[in-house]
Every structure is written in C-alpha cells, then in structure tokens.
Structure 1
Amino acid sequence: MLIGLLTAIAASICYGTGSVLQAVGSRRAARANPAAAGVTAHGGPNLTSTAKAAMTWEFIVGTILDFAGFGLGALAARMLPLFLSQTVISANLVITAILSVRMLGLRLTRKEWISIGVVCAALVLLATAAGHEGGHHAPMATHWWLFAVTALIIVGGTVAVRLLGGRAAILAGLLSGLAFGALGVGVRILNGIDPFDPLALLGDPALYAIVLAGVGGMYLHTVALQIGSVNGATAALVVGETVLPGAIGVLWLGDASRPGLAWLAVLGFVLAVAGAVAVAWYGKHDGADAPITDPEPARAPEPEPAPLR
C-alpha cells in the first residue's frame, strides 16, 4: 500500500508540473506567432496551432513529465484501489495551481485556496480509509466496451472543440479526464501483464483503448489549456479521471475500503470531487489566465479610428 501511494504521489507531481509547462509553451507559441495562431471559425485552435505549441521546449519537457506520470500512474493503478490511485494522481491540481502562481503570474483567490485545501484534506481521508485493491480481470466484453467508449469520448471532444471554440474549454478538460480515467481502468484490467504474455497483451482491446485514451486525452487537455483557464481545465480533468474509474473499481472490480471506514472513504471522495469542482468554477471566472490573444498595438495620437477586431 505504501509503495503504491508513493508511486501515485510521484505521478501527481509529474502531471501537475507537466500541465503548467505545457500551458507556458502553448501561450509562448501563441505570442511568438499570433498571425499564424490557426484557429477555427469559432475561436478554437486547430491542429496546426496545437502542433506549434507542442514544439516549444516547455511543452516538450511537460510532455516528458506526462509520460513519466503515466508510467507511475499505471503502476499505482495496479497496486491501489482505483478510487484512491486516481484521486491521489488528480492532486496534481494542487501542484498546477501553485506553479501557475509562480510561472504564469496568476493570483489565486481565497476561495480557490480554500478549495485546494479541501482537496488535500479529502485525499488524507481517502488514504486513511482505503483498503485492498480488487481484481485485475474482467470479461472480454468489458474490454471491447472500454475501447468503444474511449473512441466516442475522443471523437466527441474533438468535434465539440472545433464547433464551440473557447466555450468548450471546461468540456475539453472534462473529456480529457474521462479519457485518462479510461486509461486507468484499461491498465487495471489489461491482460498479459501478470504473468507476462505478449500475445495476450497484443490481442487485448484494452491495450488499444489505453493508447487511444493517452493520445486523445493529451490532445484534448492541450486544447483546453490553450483556450481556457489552466486551473479550470485541470480541475475539470480531475473530476473526469476520478469519479467514473473510482465507481467502476468499486462496483465491478472489487475495490474496497478498510472495514468500518466505508463512510470515510465516501466522504473523502465526495469532498475531493467537490473541491475540484469549486476550483474549476472559480478558475473559470478568473480572467487572469484567460487565453492569449493578439496584443493590441500601442496607442498613438492618430486621427483614424482603431481597426475593428
């Protein structure tokens, strides 16, 4: 249990730091070449602008940290109940918020700090109440359903971003979280791991659900960082990657709390989700980290009116 918990904490640190570095890279790319920002008719970034962001050194380092977080998170998902591993990993929200103050120049409100404190306290309750993890096996039909649902999440999120633009920031964050939650479930039920069997591994639909969820979730999260609040998008991601996999772990995979502490586990889980939603709400209305737009030219005493946007 302790090794799994430390692994999940390390994954959380990697993810939180990576999110902020990706945001820094995304916004630096937008400032460096605003004329070629590449947005859709509704204001959302297209694949070209996302690719430009991905070529900055900050984004590359952030992506490396994300891969490290993925590996550590995968280990944690097989050593801990999903409601604990996913929620601890989701504490990267705290790392994201603190580093955003330092690296993005944000000022968090008192309500945001209180919400972050609620999340941290809830994680302590969850860690105290968590019991053993359940099984690592599920019917093959479940593996196929996981792949189908993951594909639907990624396709739906991509379409929503292109149609809604900046209004889809929180939705993109939520769907990326659902994708990462599906990734955690896939890692948990993946065949061919113990004992290692490459044929069983390659023939498992859950493996391809993991790949699709990782790549698609990364894309949706990148877009959410470009078009909306960093803390808001990340908090929405937290909700997506904790609630559904946590419920699946308890209802279908046999995850459990310590005897007599089920109420504490439920309380901790609800507080963690509520705290994340609160940060998402307050972050959504914080204009400090609004998406970068083309800077207006310095005003000069010219007789002509300023050009229309």
Structure 2
Amino acid sequence: MIIGLVTAVAASTCYGVGSVLQAVGSRRSAREEGRAESAGAAKTQVTEHGGPSLGSTAKAVVTWEFILGTVLDFVGFLLGALSARLLPLFLCQTVISANLVITALCSIKLLGVRLKRPEWTAIGVVCGALVLLAIAAGHEGTGTVPIATHWWLLLISIAVIGGGSLLVRRLGTKGAIVAGLLSGLGFGALGIGVRVLNGVDPFNVGQLVSDPALYAILIGGLGGMYLHTVALQIGSVNGATAALVVGETVVPGIVGVLWLGDATRAGLGWLGLLGFVLAVAGAVAVAHYGEGEGALQVEAREHQAAAH
C-alpha cells in the first residue's frame, strides 16, 4: 500500500508539472503563429469553428517545453501504471488526479495565472478528499475479467477518442472543458487497461501483444494526450486539468469497485464514497471557476484588433 501511494504521488507530480510545461509550449507556439499570420507569412491555424487545427497542435507538440512536459508525462505514466497494479483504482486514479493541485501551483509561477478564493477552496476540498480516500481504501481486486471485457475496453476507447476528437473540432473554442473531460476518459481507459492487461505477471510476450487491452492503453494514452493538448490550447490550464481529473477518476473508480473487486476497509465504505464525491466535486468547481483564456482565443482577438 505504501509503495503504491508513493508511486501514485510521484506520478501526480510528474503529470502536474508536465501539464503546465505543455501549456507553456502550446501558448508560445500560438503566439509565434499569430505573429507570423499578422505578417502574412503563414495561413490561419484554426478550424472553421475557431478551434486549433491539426497543424497548430503539431507545432505546439515540437516546442521544447512541450517535449519536456511529455517526457514527464511518460515518467508519470510508468509510475501510474505501477500504482494501478498496487492500489484500488478509485484510490490510485484519485491520488494521480491530485496533479490538479500541482498544476494550479505551477501555473501561478510559469503562466502568471491568478487563482481566486473559490479555486483555492476547491483545491483544498480535493486535498481533503484524498486524505479520506487513503484512510478508507482497502485491498485491490485481482483485475481478472473475461477477455470479452478487454475487447469492449478497446472499442470504447476508439469511440471516445475518435468521436471525441471530431466533437471537439466541431465545438471549436467552446470545446476546452469537453476536450479535457474526454482526455480524462482516455487516460481512465489507460488505467483500466493497465490493471487488466494479460502477460505482465508472469511476463509473456505472446499474451501481451494479443491482448486488446494493450491497444486500448495505446489509444487511450495517445488520444488522451492529443485531446489534452487541444484543451490547453483553447482553455484555462486549471479548468482543462480539472475536467481531465473528473474523466480519469469517476469511470475507473466505478469500474474498479463493480467489476475488478476493489474495496474499502470494513465499515468505511461511506468514508470512501464521501471522499470520492468530494474529490470529483472539487475538481468540477476548479473547472467552473478556472480563469484564463486559451492561447488561440487571445491570438485571434489580437489579430482581429490589428486587422481593424
């Protein structure tokens, strides 16, 4: 339990710092694009609905800040995968989702974001909820489910990432919270996939590569990263991360309890439920109160002002 908690906290820290660095890279890329467009040296990097184009997202991905943030995300993924094998999913995913706090603190320094009192209150609620969950958490389940469940996980991952990407592009600048939520669902599928993956213990390459859960992990992880990048481009870093927290916490937690055998300590089910509800409510509140605009929106306004 202790090793699982330590790895989950470390994963949370990596994800939190990584998100802010990715936001810094995304916004620097958008500023450079805006200057190039104003000078007539580049075509617009937004879709017809005002959201970021694939080209715009690709340029954000190759900034050094974004690359460093991605490296931290990868380290966080490895640590999170280990904790998912050691802790109940409702505890593991919620602790990892505490990267919301790290993100908020780093965004003050690196992005100049100023948090309001309701946001600090909501962050405090999330921290308190994590303490309740840690107290209530019992044993983790076996993670053994029929192979048909692995196939369902893969199909759902494809639907969430594929359909979600189309929806976010359709919503344009209004899709930041939706993109954050869908990226969280992608990371949630990743967490579930890691938990049920065959061929890990004992290690068996044949079982590993033939397991649909492996491909659900890849699709959920890569697709979640893309949608999170879009959310950072068009919305508040704290709001996007809070929406991600809800997506990657609620579904895996429910799946862990209902199908994977995760449980709380005897007589503390009510405390676990309270902590879970407070963690999600706190994250939703941060998403609601999150301030700051996405880089593309700012650049679009500056471009329009220059044009007039």
**Amino acid of the residue matched to residue 113 of structure 1?**
W
Post-superposition offset of 1:178: 0.4
Structure-2 residue corresponding to 1:303? none
Q: Does 1:74 align with 2:99?
A: no
Which 5+ residue runs of structure 2 have no aligned equivalent?
none
Structure-1 residue corresponding to 2:220? 213
Q: Does 1:293 align with 2:308?
A: no
Structure-2 residue corresponding to 1:18? 18
CA RMSD of aligned residues (A): 1.4
Q: Does 1:8 align with 2:8?
A: yes
Secondary structure of 2:171's aligned partner: helix
More deviation, 207-216/30-39: 30-39
Post-superposition offset of 1:294: 4.6
State the Cα deviation string for residues 180-223 of structure 1 (Å, max 9, x = none): 00100000000001111110001000000000111100000000
- Distance in 2 between residues matched to 1:78 and 1:71, nearest whole Å: 11
Map 1:175-190 onto structure 2 (within 5 A). Answer: 175-190=182-197
Post-superposition offset of 1:137: 1.2
- Distance in 1 between residues matched to 2:165 and 2:136, nearest whole Å: 38
- Distance in 2 between residues matched to 1:213 and 1:269, nearest whole Å: 23
What percentage of residue pairs aligned between the two structures are identical? 69
| Residue pair 2:133, 2:276 contacting (<8 A) in 1 also | yes
Q: Does 1:120 align with 2:134?
A: no
- Distance in 1 between residues matched to 2:301 and 2:65, nearest whole Å: 22
Post-superposition offset of 1:162: 1.4
Post-superposition offset of 1:289: 6.0
Secondary structure of 1:292's aligned partner: helix
Pick the aligned partner of 1:92 from 93, 96, 99.
Answer: 99
State the Cα deviation string for residues 36-90 of structure 1 (Å, max 9, x = none): 4511011111111011111111000000000000000000000000000000000
| Residue pair 1:107, 1:288 contacting (<8 A) in 2 also | no
- Distance in 2 between residues matched to 1:269 and 1:25, nearest whole Å: 33
Pick the aligned partner of 2:155 from 131, 148, 154.
Answer: 148
Secondary structure of 2:299's aligned partner: coil
The TM-score normalised by the length of structure 1 is: 0.94
- Distance in 1 between residues matched to 2:19 and 2:7, nearest whole Å: 18
Post-superposition offset of 1:33: 2.0
Aligned length: 299
Secondary structure of 1:148's aligned partner: helix
| Residue pair 1:93, 1:235 contacting (<8 A) in 2 also | yes
Q: Does 1:137 align with 2:135?
A: no
- Distance in 1 between residues matched to 2:84 and 2:127, nearest whole Å: 20
Which 5+ residue runs of structure 1 have no aligned equivalent?
300-305
- Distance in 1 between residues matched to 2:127 and 2:232, nearest whole Å: 23
Post-superposition offset of 1:296: 3.7
